[in-house]
Chains A and B, each alone.
Chain A
């Protein structure tokens, strides 16, 4: 995979509508410049381990993904010293307790339930973008 410029946000999301809504919300807040979208867990892992040394500032990870699901992706990221410090935010429809617990056990940095209401959803995406891209100070990789 060719990487032309550094990626700020890696969005791992298989639902094209959710992708579009997320991008729309990010664009509205001028946060869409360096974003990469992948559609499943395999693509996500390929991208992450293919861009070592130039990792995204935050990964927005859905739980339910084709091929390799979100928790497995999370586990791979957090168990590898090279990727462990990349912030991962679960952005998912599930507010099942076990998903929350399992995500934190695996070392997720944040867990956000996508609201049905687009207003709330857009606000959540805005805050995530602002926080991780502007406020957060990650270690130099």
Chain B
């Protein structure tokens, strides 16, 4: 008897649940995620995944009344043919409504027309060239950094601290050429001279000739712009081995040469190097300290551009609570938005969707037995006020 009553009760409960369920099921907002997971640059993608995991542990996978679902694809590096096809897949077949990535400038450039045609708000978290946000598509935003944001303040810092003859060393590829132009113009505008400049090949196993060129020019400071990876590690090593480091020649670079991912590999060769960066794990804010502690379980630094992209997405989607998701409304929300990032205060420019942020001048020091970038000067972005 009890069994029958129980079954009837359960059936009644189930029926009432079905009848009283809301007419509309919870909407899912699909977010495409286009990063590099394999090959020489594969580490960045894996670190990004861990950061996303931590974010979702803290904030869940629901924003407002909508569920956030990620659709991942691997661009395999700077591979515009593959990236464009994957963007097409994500927009046309997977019907994503938002996108993070692709990384690398050529991938972004190849995908921009599709993004515009598909009207998918896209956040770039891994490409730093100018001329890709804003001009290429009204649906692009950036949480990464733009090269001028780091290079121009570095020129000012160099001049301010007494450097008058700068040696410029960049990798021989498009972003390197951009950085070279920028630093030359900025430094000369301050009144300094360029003692010499060198474009080194992307495949450059042997650095002694480059170091000798620096010695020949007898500069009082050296500016370096190299893609993160084998080049930055070998450069720091060669700089130390060749005796240039010991000569107290000031070494200045963008944050790429002392990025946390490779700082431990570079070891003591990185001590004392001054860089202009947009994020340091040692940044003194409660938000950052907590994030770094959470990522410590994964044994690497957080991917802050990804974190901020998620923050923007979650806030933007939550703001559309009660109505179906709309991409244009999201763009209107995001553009002009200011919020606190683990790196400091940031904003998305209302005019073109690019990132506005502080630039920090940092020096590599050893704190608590670990090498970190210690910020000692902050240059605020004038457009943020």
Do the two chains bind? no
- Please report B residues at the A interface, Cβ cutoff 8 Å: none
